[in-house]
Amino acid sequence: MKAARISDSIWALHADIDSTDRFEGIWPIPNGVSLNSYLVRGEKTALIDLVRDWCGAAANLTSQLADAGIEPSSIDYLILNHLEPDHTGWLAEFKAQNPGVQIIATAKGIELVKSFYKIDEGLRAVKSGDALDLGGVTLHFEETPNVHWPETMMTFEPISGTLFSCDAFGSYGTLGKRVFDDEYYAEEHAFFQGESLRYYANIVGSFSLFVKRAIQKLAPLGIKVVAPSHGIIWREKPQTIIDRYLKYADYMEGPQEKEICVVWGSMYGNTKRGLEALLKGIEDERVPFSLHRVPDEDVSFVLADAFKSAGIVIAMPTYEYRMFPPMAYVLDIFERKHVWNRKALRIGSWGWVGGAKKEYDEKVASLKWTHVEGVEWAGAPDEATLALLRERGRELARAVKAG
Ligand code: FEO
């Protein structure tokens, strides 16, 4: 990959990560992810966001800096918008190559430089409204806490109108040789839209209130280019990704899409049979739904659909007096990621004795879900139960449509 030019003074550098390692050690990335950094050159030189040395990312960054005529050792300022190690993991090695570099971050970010990397020299804390004059080009800093962790800030370059937003406005998915929005076809954008939603739900979703606050704060800047540290750089239609993020942020508490995310697990097919009847009820009302079987499907994908859907079905059997264990994990993630304010329905079979309901009720108590009355049955569902399940499916679908 070559460095791509954003303006006379700004280069986009990126490394594509194709790895079976999970992102944050949790989230699968079958389509990879990019780690983007940015070089800004005035009379002085700044590098914005670094990489973790993952799948050759550090060598890649060095080679793209060389494309732009820069050695790591000649960079004057390293700006760290966010300290998570996907953007800073290579910091100690970089600092060893360039001991004189000045590292710029928020005060909380500087503390993390010290704790993560044991670096305590050449550090400069900045706050909202501070600027860095590179000679001919100036960078402005805005604190945007909790997008994605408390120390986060964004950097803005007003001549080109480029916002370096780090995790915000990012996506999973590698970029290859094309980094700008206007270089992708509509169907490719549809793919990235799906991966941006999954990224948002996985990484940023629980901070949605802060996302909205940050977007409000940044609106007066006159953003012409959105340059995140994962995914596409938006220079033709930057508002597309900003609006998309605003919509995703709304999903946390609502409104969500009038769709139903069905999450199910079944041991011997009895819960599955009941679910099939319920799905007919949803189809009767023509409400779109997504189906996710656990534990077969990773929670990363389940969460993406749950995050955007107004309705949720949880179908699982009782297992050893409690919930089906893979579903307990899914609900734990829903709780952590603030999948709030849904219309919900829980169904499931039990064999020897029940128990899933009690644990489920406790688990979802904090999620502010409005439930259609659930259905539980012993063993195989009989005809009356199947008819009831179909009716409850209709009821949920109608509730979702009503909003
Ligand atoms: Fe891409 Fe929160 O790090």
Q: What is the 3-state secondary structure (H, E, C) of 168-205?
A: CCCCCECCCCCCEHHHCCHHHHHHHHHHHHHHHHHHHH
| pLDDT value of position 101 | 98
Going by C-alpha positions, the residue among 333, 225, 319 that lies closest to residue 265 is: 319
The finding on whether 142 has its CB within 6 A of some atom of ligand 1 is no
65 φ/ψ angles, rounded to the nearest 5 degrees? -60, -40
Confirm or reject: Cβ of 76 under 6 Å from ligand 1. Answer: no
Task: For residue 295, say if its preceding peptide bond is cis, omega within 30 degrees of 0.
Answer: yes
C-alpha torsion angle, residues 50, 53, 57, 59 (rounded to 10): 100
Residue minimizing CA distance to atom 1 of ligand 1:
167
Does ligand 1 come within 6 angstroms of the Cβ of 49? no
Q: CATH homologous superfamily of domain 4-252?
A: Ribonuclease Z/Hydroxyacylglutathione hydrolase-like (3.60.15.10)
**Count of residues making up the chain:** 403
* Ligand 1: nearest atom to the Cα of 229: 1
| Contact between 23 and 88 (Cβ < 8 Å) | no
Architecture category of domain 260-398 in CATH? 3-Layer(aba) Sandwich (3.40)
d(CA 122, CA 389): 65
C-alpha 295/C-alpha 325 separation (Å) is 9
- Determine if the peptide bond prior to 255 is cis (ω within 30°): yes
What are the residue boundaries of the structural domains of the chain, listed by start?
4-252, 260-398
Burial of 187 (0-12, 13-18, 19+ CB in 10 A): exposed
Measured between alpha carbons, how far is residue 297 from residues 18, 271, 289, 330, 335 in Å?
A: 20, 17, 16, 11, 18
151 lines ligand 1 (CB under 6 A): no
Q: Identify the DSSP state of 227.
A: E
Verify whether ligand 1 is closer than 6 Å to residue 338 (CB atom).
Answer: no
Could you give the CA distance from residue 199 to residue 184 in angstroms, rounded to a whole number?
A: 19
**Is the CB of 87 inside a 6 Å radius of any atom of ligand 1?**
yes
Residue pair 13/64 in contact (Cβ under 8 Å)? The answer is yes
Q: Which atom of ligand 1 is nearest to the CA of 167?
A: 1
Whether 52 is in the pocket of ligand 1, judged by its Cβ within 6 Å, is: no
User: Which residue, chain included where needed, has tokens 């039990």?
Assistant: 350
Cα(87) to centroid(ligand 1), Å: 7
- State in Å: Cα 397 to ligand 1 middle: 36
Residuewise pLDDT in 10s, the chain (403 residues): 789 999 999 999 999 999 999 999 999 999 999 999 999 999 999 999 999 999 999 999 999 999 889 999 999 999 999 999 999 999 999 999 999 999 999 999 999 999 999 999 999 999 999 999 999 999 999 999 999 899 999 999 999 999 999 999 999 999 999 999 999 999 999 999 999 999 999 999 999 999 999 999 999 999 999 999 999 999 999 999 999 999 999 999 999 999 999 999 999 999 999 999 999 999 999 999 999 999 999 999 999 999 999 999 999 999 999 999 999 999 999 999 999 999 999 999 999 999 999 999 999 999 999 999 999 999 999 999 999 999 999 999 999 999 8
Cα Dmax for the chain? 78
Please tell me the distance between residue 385's alpha carbon and the centre of ligand 1 in angstroms.
Answer: 47
Task: Report CA(5)–ligand 1 centroid distance (Å).
Answer: 23
Nearest ligand 1 atom to the CA of 166 is 1
pLDDT score, position 198: 98
**Per-residue pLDDT at 1:** 78
The C-alpha angle 205, 207, 208, rounded to 5 degrees, equals 70
**CA of residue 148 to ligand 1 center, whole Å:** 7
The residues, any chain, with a CB within 8 Å of residue 251's CB and separated by 6 or more, are 205, 208, 257, 307, 308
